[in-house]
Chains A and B, each alone.
Chain A
Amino acid sequence: NAGVTQTPKFRILKIGQSMTLQCTQDMNHNYMYWYRQDPGMGLKLIYYSVGAGITDKGEVPNGYNVSRSTTEDFPLRLELAAPSQTSVYFCASSYSPGDRDYTDTQYFGPGTRLTVL
């Protein structure tokens, strides 16, 4: 199993450009998440998905969009990139048995380091 893979590893964008961060997991997990981590800070949840076709906002969704057409893929779209979106983006997945107050281990991808100039 490759686990959670993310592409690209690094990217520099100009203000106003757009891009898609790719995330794929091969563990058949139903839950997937996108976090951003600013330098020296903790993880902030951007969007998450509890299954194919279902997405929901996290703590900091503004400026981002997601889709979940398959169990495996959970791409994150940045429209009109801004310097405030300079960060490291982590995708994660986990399995939840359906108890909405319980979730199993989160497996993280290696991250995408994004700089917006």
Chain B
Amino acid sequence: GQQVMQIPQYQHVQEGEDFTTYCNSSTTLSNIQWYKQRPGGHPVFLIQLVKSGEVKKQKRLTFQFGEAKKNSSLHITATQTTDVGTYFCAVSAYDKVIFGPGTSLSVIP
């Protein structure tokens, strides 16, 4: 069945450093979504990527969809303490949405 992996599982960075999380699928994807969950909160939608090689930016966040549509990345430039949380990728799989295990980001002030 569909498998979604994310690396790394945890990342601790100094404030101001960059951060990247990667999402990999065992099958070709129709689209991929990214969500952020603050500690104690609920997942909140960030962005959706649909096209091969697509790159989208939201302020300091850059999202990329791989050419083969089997992987994606989220890059944060110059992290801030407000970036703390867990970042999940999610993929569609026949009526269902499958979430990756998430990457937990800690930012040291």
**Which residue numbers of A lie inside 8 Å of B, CB to CB?**
31, 33, 35, 40-43, 45, 48, 50, 56, 58, 90, 92, 94, 96, 99-111
Contacts and interface: CB of A to CB of B under 8 A. Distances in A.
B86 to A, nearest CB: 8
A48 B104 CA distance: 26
9 nearest A-B pairs in the assembled complex, by CB-CB distance:
A108-B42, A42-B101, A43-B99, A105-B45, A101-B30, A103-B92, A42-B102, A108-B43, A100-B94
Given A101-B30, A102-B31, A102-B92, A111 B97 contact: no
Contacts of A40: 104
A99 B100 CA distance: 22
Main secondary structure on A side of the interface with B = loop
B95 A50 contact: yes
Main secondary structure on B side of the interface with A = strand
Given A42-B102, A108-B43, A94 B97 contact: yes
B92 A101 contact: yes
B64 interface: no
B48 A106 contact: no
Residue with the highest number of chain B CB atoms closer than 10 Å, among A31, A33, A56, A100: A100
A103 B45 contact: no
B96 interface: yes
Given A42-B102, A102-B30, A111 B95 contact: no
Nearest to A104: B48
A43 to B, nearest CB: 4
Nearest to B99: A43
